[in-house]
Every structure is written in structure tokens, then in C-alpha cells.
Structure 1
């Protein structure tokens, strides 16, 4: 599959998982928004960017910037405050992760699979970002 097809499969898997968990989910029309899904928690609408994660050594990595081409120049643009979270699917682990934008890096994010040698606040443990541990509550505030 090409990278667009891989992204489409990831988006559909995340969409299905969110719906199965009880969320109402909308898909914006077209490909021009910085988010892939709008997730209704009952008390807010979250703008979510879907990403495909892959294993590199002892981490799951995913890109947190979008590659665009304008006049033949390739640039990387981060999502800044245009989204609320990244929903990540890692096929080799068959796991789903929810990473709030404030916990993500500007270009890439790494979720550590194994316990790190040192305990540091900038270390993101994959176990702390699973859907079951990070998805916002459904219901009124």
C-alpha cells in the first residue's frame, strides 16, 4: 500500500474503535482540515488527527507534523493548536493510543514500550497513552 492508503486504513480503524467505545464521531468533508475526525464526548467536540505508529527499537514512533508541497518545495508543518489530540494506531502491536497535543513533540513523538533506565518527565510511556487510559469521559460536564 502507498502512504495514503496506510493512513486511510489507520483512520478507519481508529474511527471504528471510537464508535465501538461509545463516542459519536464525524468526518470533516474534504482533505483541507488539520484534523481527521471530530469526536463528540457529550460535553465537548475534540479535533483529532489520526496517525500510523510504527515500532523502532523499544518505542512506538509517529509523525506529529504534516508534509506539504508548495511550488515544488517540501515543508513540514506542525499542528500547533489546531487539534486537541493524536489518535495513533500501531498495526504491529495492534494497539491504539491517545496523545493529547500538549504531550506530543513538534515533528515526531515516541512512546516507550519498555521501562526507561531513568525516570524523567519527558519520557512518554506507551502504557500511559492507551485508549483505555487516556480517552476523555463520555457524558455531560
Structure 2
């Protein structure tokens, strides 16, 4: 079995890491029998479109990075260089979900854009040393498999 975190570290170019992340996330949907559409051009604000329960959902793929002991983070904005500086834009109304690959723990997450923090979102996979429980984005809340179940069976999870 390969050591995925080490392989990611060896990829020095951010573009290559992004391509690997997209491939891993696309495969995560495909092996769960979720149809995946890929835009023809690379200038869309989303990387993939999935079809679940007869509905299409635009997906922005992100790679998580180690933030601190027990957490990973990912950027919730796109940053583009312009002649006059940088343009930072969020994904509201441009994608419905972030699909996030965490190469540190080999986890895949599916996070609604509407629930993501502005700028950067942290996901905690280990209990904090100070015992804090409030205001934490726990990894088990966003695991891709569980989130897909809620998309496939919304009535089951809404209490209906």
C-alpha cells in the first residue's frame, strides 16, 4: 500500500496536487455508483457535477492541509492573480458542495458550501486537548459516504 501523504509531499506543484485530489474524489463518487460529469473547460467555478437522486450538484474539489494537531483545513475561496492584485471569491451560487480530500488521514469529505466558513474551514479529526466541544466542525459530520446517504435519502434524514 502506498503512503499517500508522502506522495502528496513529493508533488511540489500545487496544480499537480489539485489534479490528484480531483482524481481521488472523482473515483470516490464513481465507486459509490454516483454519476460524475466533468466540465470541458477548466475555467468553471466547479470541478465536477454529480447526479444524486435525479438532481445535479456542482462540486468544487479542495485539498486539505494540516492546520494544527488534530485538524486539517481547506480554502473556501478561489484566488486568482490579476494585474492589479488578487481576486478572492467565494463559491456561493457557484457550487453547492466542496468535496475535500484529506491526504493526511486519507479521508474524503462532502461539505455544503452554505455550511462552510468564509475564507478557510477547519475540520477536526482528534479531540482537542482543552476539551472544547462547541463550535467544532467534526470530521464524522462531513464524511463523504454519510453525506451522500443524506442526498440519496433526504426524507430519511429530515425526520419525515
Deviations 1:57-102 (A, max 9, x none): 2211011111101215122211122111100011121110111112
State the match for 1:67 in structure 2: 79
Do residues 125 (structure 1) and 138 (structure 2) align? yes
State the match for 2:25 in structure 1: 14
1:89 to 101, 121, 131: 101
**Which of the pair is proportionally richer in helix?**
2
In 1, the alpha carbon distance for the partners of 2:70 and 2:86 equals 30
Tell me if structure 1 keeps the 8 A contact 2:22–2:47. Answer: yes
Q: How many residues align?
A: 138
Q: Shift of residue 105 of structure 1?
A: 1.1
The two structures have a TM-score, normalised by structure 2, of: 0.80
Higher RCO, 1 or 2 (CA under 8 Å, sep at least 6)? Answer: 1
Provide the alpha-carbon RMSD of the alignment: 1.6
Deviations 1:110-135 (A, max 9, x none): 01112352332x32101111112212
Name structure 2 gaps, 5 residues minimum.
1-10, 154-160
State the match for 1:137 in structure 2: 152
The two structures have a TM-score, normalised by structure 1, of: 0.90
Deviations 1:31-53 (A, max 9, x none): 11100000011321000000001
Name structure 1 gaps, 5 residues minimum.
none
